[in-house]
Amino acid sequence: MIHKTIKYVQYFLIGVIFLYIAVEIFELCVSMYGMVTTLENGDRLIFTKDETSNMLVIFFNIIISIELIDTLLPRNHEEMDKVLLILLISLLALGRKFITVDYKHADPMLLIGLSAVTVALASAYYILKKSSQKKEKG
C-alpha cells in the first residue's frame, strides 16, 4: 500500500516537473525572440550581459528539473547513485546561484559561504564517485 502511494506521488511530481519544464522552455523561447527582435546598440552583438544571465538561469532551471526527474523515476537505483544525483543537482543549483549573484553588491560572507558549500559538495561528489568506481572494479 505504501509503495503504491509513493509510486503515485512520484508520478504526480514528475508530471508537475514536466509542466514546469514546458513553461521554462516557453519562457526561454519568448525571451530569446524578444532579445533578437529588439536589437540595441551596445557592447554585444545581440544579447546584453543581463539578458545572457537571465537566459542561463532559465537554462539551469531546466537542467535541474531534468535531473530531478531522473532522481524521482522509480527505477532500481542503488543508494550511491541517488546520493550522487542529489549532489550533482546541488552543484547545478550552486552554479545557477553563482550566475545570479551580483558580485559588486554581494556580502563577502555570502561569497565565502557559497564557495565553502561548493568545495564541500564537490569533494563529497568526488569521494563518492571514486569509491563507487572502486566497488565496480573490485
d(CA 88, CA 80): 12
pLDDT of residue 45: 61
CA distance 63 to 21: 9
What pLDDT score does 18 carry? 95
Kindly state the greatest CA–CA separation across the chain. Answer: 62
Would you place residue 138 in the very low, low, confident or very high pLDDT band (cuts 50, 70, 90)? low
Q: Distance of alpha carbon 11 from its chain centroid, rounded? A: 20
**Across residues 20-37, what is the average pLDDT?**
87
* Domain encompassing residue 90: 78-138
pLDDT at 48: 74
One domain for residues 70 and 116: no
Domain end, chosen from 42, 57, 75, is at 75
Statement to judge: residues 126 and 91 lie in one domain: yes
In the chain, the N- to C-terminal Cα span, in Å, equals 38
Last residue of a domain, one of 56, 75, 94: 75
Distances (CA, A) of 23 to 19, 50, 82, 90: 6, 21, 26, 22
Percent of the chain with pLDDT over 90: 25
